Amino acid sequence: MRMSRRAATATAALVTSLLTLTACGAADGSGGADSASGKVEGEVTFQTWNLRAHFKDYFEGIIADFEEKHPDAKIKWVDQPAEGYPEKLSSDAAGGTLPDVVNASPDLVYPLAKAGMALDLEKAAGKYREEYLDEAWQSNQMPGMPGVYAFPWYLNTGPMFYNKHLFRKAGLDPEKPPTTYDQLFKDAVSMARKSDRKIAMLASTPSIEDFGRYGVRLMNARGTEFTFNEPKGVELLRHYKELYAAGALDSQALTAKAESSGRKFQQQSVAMNPGSALDLETFKKEAPSLYKNIGITDTVNNTGRANMYVQGLMVNAQSNVKPAAVAFAHFVTNKKNQMAFAKQVTIFPSTKGSLDDPYFTEEDGTDATRVRVASAKSLKNAVNYTPVLLSDQMKTVLRNAVAKALQGEQSPKAALDGAVAECNRLLKTG
């Protein structure tokens, strides 16, 4: 087989470039000893998730206080950007460079705990348990594993923002946003009709949290199987299919990301969008005409319980400075430091008694305070609807099934049955 020289050169170059396809190593997941007793000393690497830009002074203050209290300990603070955080954690974990104290949500802690990389705090720091809200402490329990694998840190629950001007235009009462799912669906269809499909009520398709809020049982009691294909789940999807057909869901909802949904809301082509108190500042700066018409309400639910987002501090089980790492993780999440953090930004402490502070119960008439007080109230009995066992791949499976149902490629029941079967299969292979 003769080949021209140029072709041969091209072949060689191309084969070389082809060889650079993905390759990842796997780490050995042997857990370390759960001993955190001993002298608080050594250098602790502390990793936060996109917090340096806004809260540099706060964290530097905490670090200085801790180092003053423990002169033999030193804290090295690193911060990672919001984008690609799970990927960064996985490369660190696989490469054996996981920091000693890591900021992570329960769904990120689960795979690390399963691989033996998260310290069991029931054993190592059980004495601190009573300082935290029970639900918050339990949020880092992992299905099928004894123990708790992260200190609870700050809590959040997103209010729902709505555009009063668009409500008015659609003939809806801007002072009476929907409080039940039935009302939400009815208002959404009416808005799409009135605006000739130009204004959608919602920008995205239902996620696992929405199924939870609607009252769908997401998993069986033992956490061994997903169950969101039960009749209530099918009912929710049927409603969303009607919304999509009526133009009450944004036309690009099937491929929406949080960022694109937020953009649509700012462009005032979508009337309602979940958010946090941080968004208010953004609206003020970037969309003043929207800010003038902003309404804030609770996210609707059928369960009487809002969704709670939990952030935690995980201690690396393979850390060489475990006593110092545990001491520092506890120090950051103690009542005093969490309260100080809550005064910097609208987040909520996970320590007992903190939410009864007047700061979270008394309004002063401003929007920000209203959001804070309303959110704190709803957090009292909130739950984290997202199952920690739901991996990113499973989330994609659910999203694709929802899209197929909304486009009419499959019936809502068939789509959810398929998604549950696939998620259960992935659960078993995990």
Partner 1 sequence: MSDTTSRSGVSPGAPRPEHTDAPVPAGTASPPSEPVRRRARAAPGIRTHLPSSPWLFLAPGLLIVGGFSLYPFLSTVVNSFTDARTLTEGQFVGGTNYQELVHDAMFWTGLRNSLLYVLGVVPPLVILPLLLAILVQRHLPGIAFFRAAFYTPVVASVVVVGLIWVWLLDDRGLINALLEAVGVGTVGFLSDPWLLLLSAMAVTVWKGLGYYMIIYLAALANVPRELHEACAVDGAGAVRRFLTVTVPAVRSTMVLVAALSSVSAFKVFSEVYLMAGPTGGPGGEDTTLVMLVQQVGTGLSGRVGYASALSVVVFVITLGLMLLVLRANRKKEDEA
H or E, element range at 296: strand 294-297
Nearest to 317 by CA among 17, 12, 34: 34
Choosing from 11, 180, 224, 320, the residue that interacts with partner 1 (CB under 8 A) is: 11
Using CB under 8 A as the binding rule, whether residue 16 contacts partner 1 is answered as yes
Cα distances (Å, whole numbers) of residue 261 to 50, 254, 411, 426: 21, 11, 26, 29
27 binds partner 1 (CB under 8 A): yes
**Which residue's CB is nearer to partner 1, number 248 or number 379?**
248
Q: How many residues bind partner 1 (CB under 8 A)?
A: 59
Q: How far is the CB of 241 from partner 1 (least distance, A)?
A: 13
> By rule CB under 8 A, what string of x and - marks binding of each residue 223-252 to partner 1?
---------------------------xxx
Which of 64, 320, 396, 421 touches partner 1 by CB under 8 A? 396
Per CB under 8 A, does 192 bind partner 1? no
Contact pattern for partner 1 over residues 97 through 126, marking x by CB under 8 A: -----------x-xxx-xx-x---------
- Contact between 219 and 277 (Cβ < 8 Å): no
Question: Residue 243 or residue 371: which is nearer to partner 1 going by CB?
Answer: 243
161 - beta bridge partners?
A: 273, 296
HEC readout, 363-418:
CCCCHHHHHHHHHHHHHCCCECCCCCCCCHHHHHHHHHHHHHHHHCCCCHHHHHHH
Which residue lies nearer to partner 1 by CB, 239 or 399? 399
CA distance 207 to 343: 31
Tell me if 82 contacts partner 1 by CB under 8 A. no
Question: Does residue 53 contact residue 139 with C-beta atoms inside 8 Å?
Answer: no
Q: State the Cα–Cα distance between residues 165 and 293, nearest whole angstrom.
A: 6
Residue with tokens 């191309």: 14
* In 247-386, alpha helices (H): 258-266, 277-286, 288-292, 322-332, 335-342, 358-361, 367-379
What H or E segment, with its residue span, contains residue 315?
strand 309-315
Nearer to partner 1, 88 or 232 (CB): 88
Q: Let me know: does 379 contact 355? Beta carbons within 8 Å.
A: yes
The nearest distance, CB 353 to partner 1, in angstroms, is 34
Verify binding: residue 257, partner 1, rule CB under 8 A.
Answer: yes
Among 60, 65, 72, 87, binds partner 1 (CB under 8 A): 87
Q: Does 267 bind partner 1 (CB under 8 A)?
A: yes
Strands (E), 6-98: 42-49, 73-80
Question: With binding defined as CB under 8 A, does residue 430 bind partner 1?
Answer: yes
Binding residue (CB under 8 A) for partner 1 from 99, 399, 419, 423: 399
**Across the beta sheet with 272-274, what order do the strands follow?**
272-274, 160-163, 294-297
From the list 40, 75, 89, 102, which residue makes contact with partner 1 (rule: CB under 8 A)? 89
419 Cβ contact list (under 8 Å, min separation 6): 228, 229, 397, 398, 400, 401, 402
Q: How far is the CB of 425 from partner 1 (least distance, A)?
A: 10
Question: Binding to partner 1 by residue 203, rule CB under 8 A?
Answer: no
Q: How far is the CB of 320 from partner 1 (least distance, A)?
A: 19
Residue that the structure tokens 């239902």 belong to: 206
Q: Maximum Cα–Cα distance for the chain, whole Å? A: 84
Type of residue numbered 164: K
Q: Please, what is the minimum distance in Å from the beta carbon of residue 154 to partner 1?
A: 21
d(CA 68, CA 148) in angstroms, rounded, equals: 29
> Under the criterion CB under 8 A, does residue 391 sit at the interface with partner 1?
yes
- From CA 268, how far away is CA 167, in angstroms rounded? 11
Shortest reach from residue 74's CB to partner 1, in Å: 28
Please identify which residue in 157, 261, 269, 337 interacts with partner 1, judged by CB under 8 A.
269
Taking residues 136 to 175 in sequence order and writing x for each that binds partner 1 by CB under 8 A, - otherwise, the string is ----------------------------------------
Which of 12, 14, 64, 78 binds partner 1 (CB under 8 A)? It is 14
Give the C-alpha separation, 268 to 387, whole Å.
33
List the interface residues with partner 1, window 275-314 (CB under 8 A). none
Residue ranges that bind partner 1, judged by CB under 8 A: 2-4, 6-7, 10-11, 14-29, 86-87, 89-90, 93-94, 108, 110-112, 114-115, 117, 250-252, 254-257, 260, 267, 269, 391-393, 396, 399-401, 403-404, 407, 409, 429-430
